[in-house]
């Protein structure tokens, strides 16, 4: 977990980024809409551990996606990297499972717990069994508030960590521009999701009382689902980029998977410096495009005020204005 | 209906105004919004206005990245994991002065002063934070200006004027540029103004070009208006009276 006390960014891409890439839209009751009927087939039991298992089972797939067509230095083979990567992630999941069993309130287990509450509500609604649903919705709402706040803080700390990684490196300023655009787009997406929380909860409560149907929420849930797909691609691309940097800046496979000081330098990419710069460029454009989609979506919902700079800290606003207008 | 076009500086002033400009900017914003709501005016920017605005912000972010990186490396021997102390603040000041001294570009030097202010404010607000975290957070915040600007721009629904594509239209635009040539020496200002004049001619409407640039545009506005009857080149406060 990111703590901003690390000396470098080693191992960021396989633990912290995994947390930020968990689909945020899945925090909402998207399972209620027809398109998500596969959720009905989900095995009952401990939902939290089921979710962890799903993520764990999807590991090889994620690893392959991250490493797909990635040029590797001669000192590494793809199989070697994936194997070691899976061992590392599996041990991370072991730790999370333990935390859940020990009921430790880490940000990851909190996130999983929120999804658990959401799924319980979805199951009850789907099966028209409304016993104790009020209490569940209340707890879910509370968890949701907390989880959005925690993830936002967490992402801000990752943003700082990446800035420190950049400051301590010989990477070009385009790297800073790229991660900043990606993470800030992601933070704005979270803000948008948060702004949708109250109307969705209201609909959920009304639905239960029989006064309306969940169909009122359906269009926005479908749109969030679509945005989530793009957001996942965005975070996957960020993981891919960071992993690429880690690989080319590590001298050996052991260096790659142990916490060691790494001197990140564009020269370490050898013949792939151009590839690196192109990847930065592509990701920056993709992040910008995603950000525009989120803004358009919030405009559609008449919630564009949430992004206003006017809502920000006075010091930041003055700084921006002074910088822009200094001549 | 009249068409209104903002130049780059005015667009930036509307989106991210200086504190002392806020009362007048907000007043004009309100007036123009009312005119838009009543369908009396439509507000545009040219492609180059948008590009110039983005370029200016990207440049600031790039300067900040380079500047903070230099500072970070210069402070490395002071243990970056520890908070700033009196000694390390004096060292910070010294390093910042040296960076400033070696910077020849006056605009960047001004930016450096603002970076310094921000950095010192953060140290004052969070005296227990490690040096590297303070510097990293400052850099992140400055880089966040790009997404903030994006969001602000999107809120205003400003239509963008496309550059002409056909040979005939390009020629028309070039002719306008030639007529402006001697009056507006700055290449981009000339390009932006000419594109807007071309656009209002195309739609057979009159236009209001909004700027607060005295040196290059407002001082020449009477000559320009004599050359192009279809346009007024004014400060934002005049829009309400001319619409």
**Does residue B121 belong to the interface with chain A, where contact is any CB pair within 8 Å?**
yes
* Chain A contact for B72 (CB, 8 A cutoff): yes
User: Which parts of chain A have pLDDT scores under 70?
Assistant: 1-26, 30-47, 105, 107, 208-216, 259, 303-312
Minimal CA separation from B15 to chain A, in Å: 9
Q: What is the pLDDT of residue A150?
A: 83
Are B74 and B118 members of one domain? yes
Are B51 and B75 part of one and the same domain? no
- Strands B207-210 and B231-234 turn out to be parallel
Q: Say if CB B58 and CB A177 are below 8 A apart.
A: yes
Distance, in angstroms, between A42 CA and closest chain B CA? Answer: 39
**B108 and B73 within one domain:** yes
Domain end, chosen from B91, B123, B147, is at B147
What total number of domains does chain B contain? Answer: 2
pLDDT at A308: 66
- Residues B185, B134 share a domain: no
Q: What is the pLDDT of residues A86-109, one digit of tens each?
A: 887 787 778 777 877 777 767 677
- Whether B10 and chain A come into contact, CB under 8 Å, resolves to no
CATH of the domain at B222: 3.40.50.1010
Alpha helical stretches, state H, chain B: 8-15, 22-37, 47-74, 86-102, 106-125, 131-143, 145-155, 167-180, 187-203, 221-227, 239-242
In A, minimum Cα distance to B105 occurs at A327
- Quote the domain boundaries for residue B74: 59-147
pLDDT number for residue A23: 59
Same domain, B24 and B10: yes
Q: What is the per-residue pLDDT for B233? A: 97
Residues of A in contact with B140 (CB under 8 A): 156, 159-160, 163, 180
HSE-CB for A184 with a 13 A CA cutoff: 25
Give the domain-ending residue among B147, B180, B212.
Answer: B147
Q: Clarify whether residues B143 and B218 are in a common domain.
A: no
Q: What residues of A are in contact with residue B146 (Cβ under 8 Å)?
A: 177, 180-181, 184
Name the strand (E) or helix (H) holding B231: strand B231-234
Interchain pair A173, B62: CB under 8 A:
yes
Mutate which: A4, A6, A176, vs B, most B CBs within 10 A = A176
In Å, the largest CA–CA distance within chain B is 67
Confidence (pTM): 0.87
- Which positions in chain A touch B150 (Cβ < 8 Å)? 288, 291-292, 295
Handedness of CA A279, A282, A285, A287 (dihedral sign): negative
Which residues in A lie closer than 8 A to residue B136 (C-beta atoms)? 4, 160-161, 163-164, 167
Q: Let me know: does A308 contact B156? Beta carbons within 8 Å.
A: no
pLDDT digits (tens, 9 = 90+) for A157-188: 889 989 999 999 999 999 999 999 999 999 99
Can you give the pLDDT of all 243 residues of chain B as single tens digits? Answer: 999 999 999 999 999 999 999 999 999 999 999 999 999 999 999 999 999 999 999 999 999 999 999 999 999 999 999 999 999 999 999 999 999 999 999 999 999 999 999 999 999 999 999 999 999 999 999 999 999 998 889 888 789 998 899 999 999 999 999 999 888 888 899 999 999 999 999 999 999 999 998 888 999 999 999 999 999 999 999 999 998
Which of B123, B115, B120, B121 has its CA nearest to residue B140? B115
| Structure ipTM | 0.92
In this predicted structure, what is the pLDDT of residue A8? 37
Residues 189-208 of B with CB under 8 A from A: none
What is the pLDDT, as a whole number, of residue A6? Answer: 41
pLDDT of residue A36: 45
Q: Within its chain, how far is the Cα of A176 from the centroid?
A: 19
Residue A296's closest chain B neighbor by CA? B154
* Rounded-to-integer distance, Cα A297 and Cα B10, Å: 27
- B230 & B217 share domain: yes
């Amino acid at each position: 977990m990111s703590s901003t006390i690390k000396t470098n960014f080693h191992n960021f891409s396989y633990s912290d980024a995994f947390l930020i890439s968990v689909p945020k839209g899945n925090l909402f009751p998207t399972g209620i809409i027809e398109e998500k009927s596969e959720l009905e087939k989900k095995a009952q039991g401990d939902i939290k551990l089921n979710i962890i298992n799903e993520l764990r089972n999807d590991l090889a797939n994620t690893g392959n996606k991250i490493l797909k067509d990635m040029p590797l230095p001669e000192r590494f083979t793809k199989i070697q990297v994936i194997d070691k990567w899976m061992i590392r992630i599996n041990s991370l999941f072991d730790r999370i499972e333990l935390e859940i069993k020990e009921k430790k309130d880490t940000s990851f287990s909190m996130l999983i717990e929120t999804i658990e509450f959401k799924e319980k509500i979805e199951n009850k609604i789907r099966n028209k069994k409304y016993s104790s649903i009020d209490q569940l919705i209340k707890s879910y709402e509370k968890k949701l508030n907390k989880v959005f706040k925690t993830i936002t803080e967490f992402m801000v700390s990752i943003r700082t960590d990446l800035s420190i990684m950049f400051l301590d490196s010989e990477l070009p300023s385009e790297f800073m521009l790229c991660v900043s655009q990606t993470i800030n787009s992601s933070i704005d997406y979270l803000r948008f999701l948060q702004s949708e929380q109250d109307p969705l909860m209201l609909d959920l409560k009304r639905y239960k009382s029989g006064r309306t149907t969940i169909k009122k929420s359906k269009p926005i849930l479908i749109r969030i689902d679509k945005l989530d797909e793009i957001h996942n691609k965005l975070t996957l691309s960020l993981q891919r980029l960071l992993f690429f940097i880690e690989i080319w800046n590590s001298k050996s496979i052991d260096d790659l998977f142990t916490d060691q000081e790494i001197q990140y330098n564009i020269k370490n990419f050898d013949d792939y410096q151009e590839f690196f710069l192109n990847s930065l460029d592509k990701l920056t454009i993709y992040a910008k495009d995603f950000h525009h989609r989120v803004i358009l979506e919030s405009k559609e919902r008449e919630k564009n005020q949430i992004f206003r700079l006017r809502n920000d800290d006075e010091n930041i606003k003055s700084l921006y204005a002074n910088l822009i207008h200094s001549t | 209906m009249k068409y209104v076009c903002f130049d780059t500086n005015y667009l930036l002033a509307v989106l991210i105004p200086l504190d002392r400009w806020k009362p007048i900017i907000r007043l004009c914003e309100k007036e123009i919004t009312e005119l838009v709501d009543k369908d009396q005016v439509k507000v545009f920017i040219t492609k180059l206005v948008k590009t110039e605005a983005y370029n200016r912000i990207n440049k600031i972010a790039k300067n900040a990245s380079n500047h903070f990186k230099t500072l970070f490396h210069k402070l490395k021997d002071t243990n970056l994991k520890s908070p700033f102390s009196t000694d390390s603040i004096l060292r910070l000041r010294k390093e910042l002065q040296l960076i400033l001294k070696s910077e020849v570009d006056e605009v960047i030097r001004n930016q450096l002063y603002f970076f310094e202010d921000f950095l010192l404010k953060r140290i004052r607000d969070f005296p227990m934070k490690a040096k590297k975290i303070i510097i990293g957070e400052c850099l992140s915040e400055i880089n966040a200006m790009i997404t903030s600007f994006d969001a602000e721009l999107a809120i205003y629904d400003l239509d963008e004027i496309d550059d002409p594509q056909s040979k005939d239209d390009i020629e028309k635009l070039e002719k306008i540029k030639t007529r402006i040539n001697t009056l507006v020496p700055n290449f981009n200002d000339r390009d932006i103004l000419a594109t807007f004049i071309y656009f209002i001619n195309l739609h057979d409407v009159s236009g209001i070009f909004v700027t607060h640039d005295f040196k290059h545009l407002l001082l020449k506005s009477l000559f320009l208006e004599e050359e192009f009857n279809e346009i007024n080149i004014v400060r934002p406060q005049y829009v309400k009276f001319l619409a």
